Structure 1
Amino acid sequence: MELGSVLQFLDNKSILVTGGTGFLAKIFVEKILRVQPNVKKLYLLVRAADHKSAIHRLHNEIIGKDLFRNLKEKYGKNFTSFISEKISVIPGDISRRDLGVEDSVLIQHILKDVDVLLNLAATTNFDERYDVALGLNTMGVKYVVDFAKQCVKLQVLVHVSTAYVSGERSGLILENGYRMGETLNGETGLDINMERKVVDDKLNDLRSQGASDKDITLAMKDLGIKRARLYGWPNTYVFTKAMGEMVVGELKGIVPALIIRPTIITSTYKEPFPGWAEGIRTIDSLAVGYAKGKLTFFLGNLDSVVDVIPADMVVNAMIAAMMAHASHRPLESIYQVGSSVQNPIKYSHLQDYGFRYFSNKPWINKDGKPVIVGKVTVLNSMDSFHRYMAFRYLFLLKGLELTNAAFCHFFQGVYSNLNRKINFVMRLVDIYRPYLFFNAVFDDLNTEKLRMAARTSLVEKDMLYFDPKCIDWEDYFMNIHIPGIVKYIFK
């Protein structure tokens, strides 16, 4: 596998990026513009009603972020003109044909111009409405592949999935793909078109009954969980992402396509600067709740390996993979980008880092007082969690003052009825349970081959770093990641 020069590969390239306002998309765009300003064009597809709205999202949700400060300093007063020349923002929607682009002239121009198509558009909500998740994560992939097959000079299609399409399997998870209709539990009958019919029939039934928007949302969320578990997946998100992978494998034809499966993505390790983050991601929600005194217990196995990988390493792996596979036809490869094999870290380490950091640098609450954190109560089984909840429930009913009021504070104002509060907590635990007791690591043999190729054949050897073995986790969490989420995520 030969990589050659990053700068040469990107020179005069036109790249279409779906999900242009997403976390990874922004980091990818910033990286490309910073290392190779001679890129021809970055087409960013964003959900917007019209071009004016799309431009507004570009300035407010992409280049307006602190992530682009190095580029702003480099170009100064010429930054705006540079962005206008290099970025073309396009209103669209991947859940529709032609990616929802209404301008037929623009569509034809893009089809003739694009060299690389990077599909980052998705909904990552575990508890998403099934119609929404199916439309974006599965049917949206179909429309992306259909679009890619029309691109005249396309060199590679990169589809970003998630390592957790593996479901609840344990042990070593290989970089294997899914055949169309394959399920995790051996259940037969999985058909993507049938899933769409199930959604349509349910929506028509609900509307004919005069169901409210709220009731429809709840029903569609329940339907997603039900359909996912019917075929062995734990939630709607990973189920629809797995079907998206099936679509790539089934429909790509001669298009050179590859799938990137990141694990839990964390703040940047090094570029454009350490610690940039956006949005409360999986493990960050624990840190936020803990620092603010709202998380006083943890459900899970502290000895379990938690697979995390910095966002800039994921982006570098994406670029290396697209370089390696450009114009190699036909080809399909899967790259799992994580750390659990090369440099594992446990939940117990995260617990220790959080306690030490926020003990030394406590969060200051709205009253100007430091929040004193303590050791977290660890519940290591679902049985212990149910006993804990029953205990809390009895005390809450009696109106007694609790020393551990995590649930009261965290869900205050969300539900006015106590029973609904408890049901809400139970639903969240039910959805996240597979990851709290996750007992697997992700093989990354294909990704390791990419790293070897980068070490031996990449001209700019330091430009595409994505080896997790170089990470000192204590230093990263204590000096980069936690300070980063405090700066960019805490409100």
Structure 2
Amino acid sequence: MNTRGTYELIKIAEILKHLKVFMHVSTTYCYPNRRVIEEQFYPPYADWRTTIKLAETYDTELLNVFNLKYGDFQPNTYTFTKSLAEQIIKEYKDKLPLLIFRPSIVISSIEEPVPGWVDNFNGPIGMLVACGIGIFRTSYGEPNIISDFVPVDIVVRAMLIATYRKGLENRDNDEPKLEVVNGAASKIRPITTGEVIEIGKKSYKRNSF
């Protein structure tokens, strides 16, 4: 979905005559082997066309056999396919008004539409809810690791601003450049995994399930 879906959308974008900006939403975790992710491209782990062909040719059992080595030992297929999708965007940078936005770990909102709003239980929100109702009791991890969480309403605002700015740039520039924007908060308001757990414990006591 992350790779082939991006390619299919690019093909649609190519026939849109009045397209001003095409934003591709990636993730700051698409290159997990790097400690620092700058707002730039990095060498691909594999060729995206070859990867799509392999995925659509071979069965799941065979793909699982060579998945880790082929994907340069990525921790999961999410980060791997997200990095491949960025390579697709890069390849079409001279044909379309493209922009890449990389949010970190998106969590529930601060203010809009209401405080605490979220439409799924993915990531840390699901973990905290599972802890609160008692079905998730233990987890192995490092409590001092800084988790880069960004509220969803902050992410949406940043996406809108980045898109608007890119649109103005494209209007005033005959040869607009492909821009990469990171949307992370660890340096602004860092929080460790251990702190998240302690906040969750206090929240459960105030608002029990």
Check whether TM > 0.5. yes
Bigger CA radius of gyration = 1
CA distance in 2, matches of 1:137, 1:253: 21
Q: Paired residue for 2:4, among 139, 142, 158?
A: 139
Q: Paired residue for 2:177, among 326, 331, 348?
A: 331
CA distance in 2, matches of 1:229, 1:254: 29
CA distance in 2, matches of 1:231, 1:260: 24
Q: Does 1:282 align with 2:123?
A: yes
* Structure 1 residue 221, shift from structure 2 partner: 7.2
Q: Which residue of 2 aligns with 1:150?
A: 15
Q: Which residue of 2 aligns with 1:359?
A: 205
Q: Which residue of 1 aligns with 2:64?
A: 222
Q: Is the 8 A contact 2:48 2:87 kept in 1?
A: no
CA distance in 1, matches of 2:183, 2:62: 31
Q: How does 1:315-330 map to 2 (within 5 A)?
A: 315-326=156-167, 327=170, 328=173, 329-330=175-176
Q: Paired residue for 1:200, among 52, 56, 60?
A: 56
Write the deviation string for residues 85-141 of structure 1: whole angstroms up to 9, x where unpaired.
Answer: xxxxxxxxxxxxxxxxxxxxxxxxxxxxxxxxxxxxxxxxxxxxxxxxxxx211221
Matched residue type, 2:47: D
- Matched position secondary structure for 2:131: helix
CA distance in 1, matches of 2:116, 2:80: 31
Matched residue type, 1:316: R
TM-score, with structure 1 as normaliser: 0.39
Q: How does 1:43-442 map to 2 (within 5 A)?
A: 136-170=1-35, 172-179=36-43, 182-183=44-45, 190-203=46-59, 216=60, 219=61, 222=64, 226-227=67-68, 230-326=71-167, 327=170, 328=173, 329-363=175-209
Count of matched residue pairs: 204
Q: Is the 8 A contact 2:148 2:190 kept in 1?
A: yes
* Structure 1 residue 200, shift from structure 2 partner: 3.3
Matched residue type, 1:336: N
The gaps in structure 2 that reach 5 residues or longer are: none
Change (3 A) 1:200 1:271: closer
Change (3 A) 1:346 1:138: same
Q: Is the 8 A contact 1:305 1:345 kept in 2?
A: yes
CA distance in 1, matches of 2:18, 2:71: 41
CA distance in 1, matches of 2:51, 2:201: 45
Change (3 A) 1:350 1:162: same
- Matched position secondary structure for 1:150: coil
* Structure 1 residue 177, shift from structure 2 partner: 1.4
The gaps in structure 1 that reach 5 residues or longer are: 1-135, 184-189, 204-215, 364-491
* Structure 1 residue 227, shift from structure 2 partner: 4.7
Matched residue type, 2:16: C
Matched residue type, 2:166: H
Change (3 A) 1:349 1:156: same
TM-score, with structure 2 as normaliser: 0.88
CA distance in 2, matches of 1:293, 1:355: 12
Change (3 A) 1:239 1:346: same
Q: Which residue of 2 aligns with 1:100?
A: none
Q: Is the 8 A contact 2:71 2:80 kept in 1?
A: no
Change (3 A) 1:311 1:272: same
Q: Is the 8 A contact 1:137 1:240 kept in 2?
A: yes
As a proportion of its length, which structure holds more helix? 1
Matched residue type, 2:52: R
Q: Which residue of 2 aligns with 1:424?
A: none
Change (3 A) 1:251 1:220: farther
Matched residue type, 1:198: L
Write the deviation string for residues 155-194 of structure 1: whole angstroms up to 9, x where unpaired.
Answer: 1110101111022433x32122135xx22xxxxxx22222
- Matched position secondary structure for 1:147: helix
- Matched position secondary structure for 1:336: strand
Change (3 A) 1:139 1:290: same
**RMSD, aligned α-carbons:** 2.1
Q: Is the 8 A contact 1:142 1:251 kept in 2?
A: no
* Structure 1 residue 220, shift from structure 2 partner: 7.1
- Matched position secondary structure for 1:260: strand
Identity %: 27
CA distance in 1, matches of 2:69, 2:164: 35
CA distance in 2, matches of 1:250, 1:357: 47
Write the deviation string for residues 181-232 of structure 1: whole angstroms up to 9, x where unpaired.
Answer: x22xxxxxx22222223223313xxxxxxxxxxxx5xx37736x81576424
* Structure 1 residue 152, shift from structure 2 partner: 1.2
Greater RCO (Cα-Cα under 8 Å, separation 6 or more): 2
